[in-house]
Amino acid sequence: MGCYLIGIIVFIFSTRLPRSKVLFRALVKLVFFLYRQKGLKLDFDPIRFEKSSWILPKREKKAGNLEKSIELVVVSTSKDFDILPHSVDHALKALSKYKYGGVRIIVPKSDVMQCKKLFRNSRSQISIIDENTFISKNQFEILSNSFGDRDTWVLQQLLKVQAVISSKADAVLILDSDTILLRKRPWFDQEANQILTPSTEFNPAYYLFLNQMISTPVIPNYTYVSHHMLMQPNVFKQILKSLDLLRVESLINYCCINSDKTVQSPICIEYELYAQFLSIKKYQIAFHALWSNVTIPKTYSRIILNSKLLRFLLSRLYNSISFHSWS
């Protein structure tokens, strides 16, 4: 019951509309009280939720540097192909103010032909890339030997990293294939600073790993597992070069040797490595903006994706939707 009530609270207070922090705190205290009465513990961090959900300034910066080229990159598999065309279409609309930098969709070799069929009638030029282009079979075997059944989860992170640093565009928008962007954003502001959207997710293993890697705090002020992120190739290459991890073999070996295999999700080397490095080095190239993402079970994705009215209403409330199969 407590998780259900917290889910409702999160749904309401994740919106991009003005909300009462006082009311949020009162409702959360009530739910925690009800849980304690039953002798149960509720796994919810209201302080971290507040930090990400009441980002200042409340109004987003004005979009600028529209001559910046932005490439869209999505790493996907056939399980998300029902959502993928919608994800790409909405993302291109969200990027439409900026210079078109291309679209690359990276999939397993076995899914290449099926993915090409999905986009054969697309008006945009979309490249479907075999993931072996970035990570060889031998390199994947090293991942498998080290991470076991979590090897593909680590693989998709490595693919995102390699896609970013190989891009010729000014920036890359990395997008999870089950996420729909509902609105245009100021991806760059008028001073050429890029957007970062702090999220509510917190996985301690990520920050223990990054603490060893880049000396980020074990409990950072903000986290950035936001299911999409703008990344600048030149910046990411500088980060990896400073760590002597620019070569994919070096990055794979580092992850295999230094990650904690006893936990389910030990590393985050795309979103969190990029954003946390910017934070600890205090690079003045980014600004915070409201994440305002809503997670909806994938079983409802068809209803929403087939209804312009529902998507319009959701776009008034949220910046993005993630259709997670586990939610």
CATH code at position 270: 3.90.550.10
Res. 58: pLDDT tops 70: no
Answer yes or no: are the C-beta atoms of 178 and 161 closer than 8 Å.
no
Answer yes or no: are the C-beta atoms of 184 and 177 closer than 8 Å.
no
User: What long-range pairs does 128-136 form, CB within 8 A, spacing at least 24?
Assistant: 129/104, 129/105, 130/106, 131/75, 131/106, 131/107, 131/155, 131/159, 133/106, 134/106, 134/158, 134/159, 134/162, 134/163, 134/166, 134/248, 135/159, 135/162, 135/248
Range of the domain at 190: 69-322
Nearest to 195 by CA among 59, 52, 63, 13: 63
Distance in angstroms (rounded) separating the CA atoms of residues 43 and 26: 17
Residue 303 lies in a domain: yes
Residue 170 lies in a domain: yes
Q: Retrieve residue 72's tokens.
A: 């869209």
Average pLDDT over residues 138-166: 96
Res. 327: pLDDT tops 50: no
Same domain, 39 and 73: no
Same domain, 223 and 316: yes
Distance in angstroms (rounded) separating the CA atoms of residues 223 and 197: 9
CA 80, 84, 90, 93 torsion: positive or negative?
A: positive
Same domain, 14 and 103: no
Answer yes or no: are the C-beta atoms of 162 and 132 closer than 8 Å.
no
Amino acid 4: pLDDT: 80
More confident residue, 267 or 327: 267
What lies within 8 Å, CB to CB, of 206 at 6+ separation is: 223, 225, 265, 266, 267, 268, 272
Residue 62 lies in a domain: no
pLDDT band of 5, cuts 50, 70, 90: confident
Res. 57: pLDDT tops 70: no
Average pLDDT over residues 242-259: 97
Same domain, 267 and 122: yes
Query: pLDDT averaged over the chain?
Result: 93
Number of folded domains that form the chain:
2
Amino acid 283: pLDDT: 66
Nearest to 103 by CA among 158, 111, 95: 95
More confident residue, 61 or 3: 61
More confident residue, 40 or 304: 304
Residue 53 lies in a domain: no
Same domain, 22 and 125: no
Q: Of all residues in the chain, what percent carry a pLDDT higher than 90?
A: 86
More confident residue, 142 or 279: 142
Q: Is 268 helix (H, G, I), strand (E, B) or coil?
A: coil
pLDDT band of 38, cuts 50, 70, 90: confident
Poorest-pLDDT segment among 58-72, 140-154, 246-260: 58-72
Residue 8 lies in a domain: yes
Same domain, 237 and 313: yes
Cis peptide preceding 57, ω within 30 of 0: yes
Res. 308: pLDDT tops 90: yes
Distance in angstroms (rounded) separating the CA atoms of residues 274 and 256: 19
Res. 195: pLDDT tops 50: yes
Same domain, 154 and 275: yes
Answer yes or no: are the C-beta atoms of 322 and 304 closer than 8 Å.
no
pLDDT band of 215, cuts 50, 70, 90: very high
Residue 63 lies in a domain: no
Same domain, 190 and 117: yes
Residue 49 lies in a domain: no
Amino acid 280: pLDDT: 84
Element (H, E) at 103: strand 99-107
Same domain, 152 and 10: no
Amino acid 312: pLDDT: 96
Distance in angstroms (rounded) separating the CA atoms of residues 147 and 122: 37
**Which ranges of the chain would DSSP assign to H, the alpha helix?**
2-13, 21-37, 46-53, 84-94, 112-118, 137-147, 151-165, 204-214, 233-242, 248-258, 271-280, 301-305, 308-317
Most confident segment among 36-50, 280-294, 304-318 = 304-318
Distance of CA 112 to the CA centre of its chain: 23
Average pLDDT over residues 68-83: 97
Same domain, 283 and 178: yes
Q: What is the dihedral of CA 250, 256, 260, 266, to 10 degrees?
A: 70
- Kindly report the pTM of this predicted structure: 0.94
Same domain, 264 and 304: yes
Res. 40: pLDDT tops 90: no
- Rounded to a whole number, what is the largest CA-CA distance in the chain? 58
Average pLDDT over residues 108-123: 95
Same domain, 27 and 105: no
Answer yes or no: are the C-beta atoms of 55 and 153 closer than 8 Å.
no
Residue 52 lies in a domain: no
